[in-house]
A = this chain, B = another copy of it.
């Protein structure tokens, strides 16, 4: 801890009897350094416990070898109750972060993840701080709906994750929401003879939410299903809000649909809770499906039929794209779409052989 100021490149240069330029070359792995000199410098670095200042590095235009990832942490909820409560929302981001970390490490970078409380004054500031510490940045969905973020996006190597791809950004990675949804709806219609559909949607400001709903509507139309407006719920991507919305819906006497398709797994799990409490059996009385395939999806009872997002690969792809942008090996403005896939488990009425939790022994 503490003590005197930490060593600078000058100290190292002095200790190794070279100029700071040479130290810098060693630091950045330049080819033009005598092995012997390099060794001397490395030794001095170790001796002095020198760590280059990334602030200075950024200022002078060098690489920081790190990339940032900003993901949303809902501000309002956190302020009311900072506790874990609805923290399953984090599960989705988690896989992305891990994918991104993994790929960053593969390419010699480090990944700094930063939770941004959306809707806070400080939001832009946080993104700025992150920005100034990295070479490129990945902005997930909702954090982007902010002036500051937009401004940054315009001026740096930024990729937008699962966004609507309004360009402005260096690149965009999207998920094939429509493909997954239509496969799901087809499955429900064909295998389970479902005609009357319901939907639990996500936050209006999320491009993903919109995309999923529209895909759903289209898919239902395509299979000739029907969709009554009273069965169109909004759970804002949150378990608790979905529970509330469904509870309110159940209080209504209107007939329930045969299936509730939910725009993410957390809401589906919330629905499962409410339905069990009300004595409505899933999938016998009502089918429920999710979206994302978070880790919990396979642990709940009944195991959730859902659409797998390649979350891990999303992180991988985003990092690859940012670094490609950095290296100018990728065109600015490219868009990449990752596939989704239907994961059939028990909550749609199929028996799932793969799920441990869904086994007979359990019920």
> Which residues in A have some Cβ–Cβ distance to B below 8 Å?
1-3, 6, 49, 51-59, 64-66, 68, 73, 78, 82-84, 87-88, 90-91, 94-95, 97-99, 101-102, 105, 108, 110-115, 117, 120, 122, 125-126, 128-134, 148, 151-158, 168-170, 273, 276-277, 279, 295-296, 299-301, 311-312, 316, 325, 332-333, 356-357, 359, 361-363
Contacts and interface: CB of A to CB of B under 8 A. Distances in A.
Contact of A99 (B82, B91, B300): B82
B276 A132 contact: no
Q: How many copies does the complex hold?
A: 2
B99 A158 contact: no
Q: Is the interface of A mostly helix, strand, loop or mixed?
A: mixed
A323 to B, nearest CB: 15
Contacts of A153: 1
A68 to B, nearest CB: 8
Given A1-B170, A94-B94, A101 B88 contact: no
A103 to B, nearest CB: 8
A51 B279 contact: no
B115 A51 contact: no
A296 B1 CA distance: 38
A362 B302 CA distance: 9
A30 to B, nearest CB: 17
Given A51-B152, A68-B112, A97-B115, 17 more contacts: A1-B154, A1-B157, A51-B148, A51-B151, A54-B133, A55-B59, A84-B98, A84-B312, A91-B295, A105-B117, A110-B126, A113-B113, A133-B133, A279-B361, A296-B296, A299-B300, A301-B362
A113 B169 CA distance: 24
A79 to B, nearest CB: 9
A101 B73 contact: yes
A217 to B, nearest CB: 30
The interface centre, meaning the residue of A54, A87, A128, A332 with most chain B CB atoms within 10 A of its CB, is: A54
* Residue in A73, A84, A134, A157 with the greatest tally of chain B CB atoms within 10 Å: A84
B3 A276 contact: no
A84 B296 CA distance: 12
Contact of A332 (B2, B52, B131, B158): B2
Contacts of A2: 154-157, 170, 332
Q: What 10 A-B pairs have minimum CB-CB distances, sorted nearest first? A: A55-B58, A54-B132, A133-B133, A112-B112, A101-B115, A55-B59, A110-B126, A113-B113, A55-B132, A110-B129
A1 B133 contact: no
A20 to B, nearest CB: 15
Contacts of A97: 113, 115
Contacts of A170: 1-2
Contacts of A90: 94, 98
A64 B130 CA distance: 10
Which of A57, A101, A363 has the most C-beta atoms of chain B within 10 angstroms of its own C-beta? A101
B133 A64 contact: yes
A128 B54 contact: yes
A354 B349 CA distance: 28
A300 B296 CA distance: 9
A266 to B, nearest CB: 11
A122 B107 CA distance: 11
A11 to B, nearest CB: 13
Nearest to A4: B155
